Amino acid sequence: MALTLYGGARSRASMPRWYMEEKGIPYRFQLLDMEAGEHRAEPFTSINPFGKVPALVEEDPALPGGRLQLFESGAILLYLAERYGDECRTPWERGLAQQWVLFANATLATALFVPSSREREFPRLMGSLDQLLEGGRPLIGEVWGVADCAVNAYLAYLPIFFPQLDLSPFPNVQATIAATQARAAYQQAMGQR
Ligand SMILES: N[C@@H](CCC(=O)N[C@@H](CS)C(=O)NCC(=O)O)C(=O)O
């Protein structure tokens, strides 16, 4: 088995990268020069025709055609969780993992990064998340997993992209961001963006 993750500097590739670092999944990181447009040209567009990162390539004789190509960070995360992370073992575990990854990549990402949604949605989502994150427990079960990776990666973007945001009304969100930043695997994934 050989995994190659394609990403750019300061890109969403840090999310699946963090997951692989946490779970000790061996991979190679292929940094694309996005300023030079490497992500919009061959050979990368043969992996993701939409020219966006991250993308994952797995080579393994056991795979159909010996190779799997995946794009969309959420799809990559869920694949890694099921195949290598000992997660998503039952339909209900898979359903919960999908719920949180889709929440992170669709609902939370929109509330953070789409300016017209931010004012209305952000305080509402943060209020609910703050309650759910009380006690610092994983979002599913007892062990850090793909749901925490997806949601907490976005929360940890907050001080990076919006340093002026006042998070003091959300102390559990603040504690989750601090705990995320303290994780060695997160530092490894972010430090080598
Ligand atoms: N929904 C996609 C979004 C991918 C995405 O927009 N990636 C950005 C980098 S974070 C990108 O490749 N932008 C380059 C471009 O659109 O040209 C995912 O989660 O993978």
Domain-terminating residue out of 29, 63, 85 = 85
Q: Is 100 found in the same domain as 177?
A: yes
Kindly tell me if the per-residue pLDDT of 136 is higher than 60: yes
In the chain, pLDDT over 90 holds for what percent of residues?
A: 95
Kindly tell me if the per-residue pLDDT of 20 is higher than 60: yes
Average pLDDT, the chain: 96
Residue in 17, 52, 70, 101 to alter for ligand 1 test, most ligand atoms within 8 A of Cβ: 52
Q: Is 179 found in the same domain as 115?
A: yes
Average pLDDT over residues 174-178: 98
CB atoms within 10 A of CB 146: 30
Domain-terminating residue out of 44, 60, 85 = 85
Helices (H), 58-145: 73-83, 91-102, 109-113, 115-132
Kindly tell me if the per-residue pLDDT of 71 is higher than 80: yes
In the chain, pLDDT over 70 holds for what percent of residues?
A: 99
φ, ψ dihedrals at 160, nearest 5°: -80, -50
Kindly tell me if the per-residue pLDDT of 97 is higher than 80: yes
How many domains is the chain partitioned into structurally? Answer: 2
Q: Is 114 found in the same domain as 80?
A: no
Q: What pLDDT score was predicted for residue 91? A: 98
Q: Is the CB of 48 under 6 A from ligand 1?
A: no
Express each pLDDT in 36-65 by its tens digit.
999 999 999 999 999 999 999 999 999 999
Buried/exposed 13-35: b ≥16 CB within 10 Å, e otherwise: bbbbbbbbbbbebebebbbbebe
Distance 174 CA to ligand 1 centre (A): 26
Q: What pLDDT score was predicted for residue 139? A: 98
Supply the residue whose CA is at minimum distance from atom 2 of ligand 1.
72
Expressed as residue numbers, the domain containing 150 is 91-188
pTM: 0.96
Distance 71 CA to ligand 1 centre (A): 10
Q: What pLDDT score was predicted for residue 148? A: 98
Q: What pLDDT score was predicted for residue 112? A: 93
* CA angle centred on 159, ends 164 and 184, rounded to 5°: 165
Q: Is 71 found in the same domain as 103?
A: no
Q: Is 132 found in the same domain as 117?
A: yes
Residue 193 lies in a domain: no
Q: What pLDDT score was predicted for residue 69? A: 98
Q: What pLDDT score was predicted for residue 110? A: 95
Q: What pLDDT score was predicted for residue 191? A: 82
Q: What pLDDT score was predicted for residue 118? A: 87
Atom of ligand 1 nearest to the CA of 50: 16
Residue 20 lies in a domain: yes
The strand pairing partners of 156, in sequence order, are none
Q: What pLDDT score was predicted for residue 193? A: 43
The Cα 132–Cα 54 span in angstroms is: 28
Q: Is 137 found in the same domain as 52?
A: no
Domain-terminating residue out of 42, 68, 85 = 85
